[in-house]
Amino acid sequence: MKYIDEFQDPELARRLLDEIHATVTRPWALMEVCGGQTHSIIRHGIDQLLPEQIELIHGPGCPVCVTPLEVIDKALEIAARPGVIFCSFGDMLRVPGTDRDLFQVRGEGGDVRVVYSPLDALRLAQRHPDREVVFFGIGFETTAPPNAMTVHQARRLGIRNFSVLVSHVRVPPAIEAIMRSPSCRVQAFLAAGHVCTVMGLGEYPELARRHRVPIVVTGFEPLDILEGVRRTVAQLERGEHTVDNAYPRAVRAEGNPAAKAVLEDVFEVTDRAWRGIGVIPQSGWRLSGRYRDYDAELRFRVDGIRTLEPAECRSGEVLQGLLKPHECEMFGTRCTPRTPLGATMVSSEGACAAYHLYRRLRTTPAPREASPVA
CATH code assigned at 163: 3.40.50.11740
Same domain as 157, residue 98? yes
In a domain, 305, yes or no: no
In a domain, 327, yes or no: yes
Same domain as 218, residue 139? no
> Residue 195: what pLDDT?
96
Same domain as 68, residue 57? no
The model's pTM: 0.89
> Residue 360: what pLDDT?
56
Same domain as 262, residue 222? no
In a domain, 115, yes or no: yes
Residue 4 burial (10 A CB sphere; 0-12, 13-18, 19+):
middle
> Residue 2: what pLDDT?
52
Overall number of domains in the chain: 3
Q: How confident is the chain (374 residues) per 10-residue block, as mean pLDDT?
A: 73 95 97 94 92 95 90 95 96 89 95 96 98 96 96 97 97 95 94 96 97 97 96 98 97 97 97 90 96 96 77 87 90 89 87 86 43 36
Same domain as 157, residue 70? yes
**Listed residue (294, 292, 347, 300) closest to 319, CA to CA:** 347
In a domain, 176, yes or no: no
In a domain, 370, yes or no: no
Same domain as 269, residue 135? yes
CA angle 278, 284, 285 (to 5 degrees): 145
Residue 135: strand pairing partners: 87, 164
Q: Are 262 and 198 in contact (CB under 8 A)?
A: no
Domain boundaries, position 43? 4-61+181-245
Same domain as 112, residue 42? no
In a domain, 236, yes or no: yes
CATH code assigned at 50: 3.40.50.11750
Same domain as 123, residue 69? yes
Same domain as 149, residue 239? no
Same domain as 139, residue 93? yes
> Residue 317: what pLDDT?
87
CA angle 191, 210, 141 (to 5 degrees): 35
Same domain as 130, residue 279? yes
**Listed residue (6, 42, 30, 37) closest to 326, CA to CA:** 42
Same domain as 166, residue 73? yes
Return the DSSP state at 136.
E
In a domain, 310, yes or no: no
In a domain, 280, yes or no: yes
Could you report the per-residue pLDDT of 152-183, keeping only the tens digit for each? 999 999 999 999 999 999 999 999 999 999 98
